[in-house]
Chain A
Amino acid sequence: RSRSKSKRTSGFDMAPPAALLPNAAAAVAGQLPGITPTI
């Protein structure tokens, strides 16, 4: 779609912040994941 309009980016496909995805996101960011609680 046209990006010519001065509009902030859509919230679609905005992934959750890294804190909420410890395994996947932390691995990407190169951080050590926190202790994963045992379910």
Chain B
Amino acid sequence: CSRLHNRPTISPTLLLSNMYQRPDMITPGVDAQGQPIEARKIQEHFEDFFEDIYEELRKFGEIESLNVCDNLADHMIGNVYVQFKEEDQAAAALNALQGRFYSGRPIIADFSPVTDFREATCR
């Protein structure tokens, strides 16, 4: 969305912007070379990503929840939300992720105000 959401100075939740890229992000069900991709492959791709990120983030603390948007719409595309148990764990993770890459793309990390994903909507 185009709203400027507030970015808290500290939060147990981090937002990793646009981090997940579906293999069929250009056209649903089709890869970048125009070849059809099986749904199973897409699912595996997602699970590999999820595992990567979970393994990396849990080094910094206990993860309360990990949400990966695998949508195709522009809105929040590929956003990853990770909620740690403690704010300082999120701060450590944020610090450690700065300036790093994932799969050839820079990681854009920030604190997020979201602490309850069932309630997480634009207001």
A-to-B contact residues, CB < 8 Å = 1, 7-8, 10-17, 20
Closest to A15 in B: B101
B103 and A7 contact, CB distance less than 8 A: no
Question: Cβ of A12: which chain B residues have Cβ within 8 Å of it?
Answer: 52, 56, 100-102
Report the separation of the CA atoms of residues A17 and B100 in the bound assembly, to the nearest whole angstrom.
14
Task: Point out the residue from B56, B104, B105, B106 that lies within 8 Å of A10, measured CB to CB.
Answer: B56
Interface residues of B (CB under 8 A from A): 48-49, 51-52, 55-56, 100-106
Instruction: Name A's interface SS.
Output: loop
From A1, A8, A15, B104 is in contact (CB under 8 Å) with A15
Cα–Cα distance between A16 and B103 once the two chains are bound (Å): 7
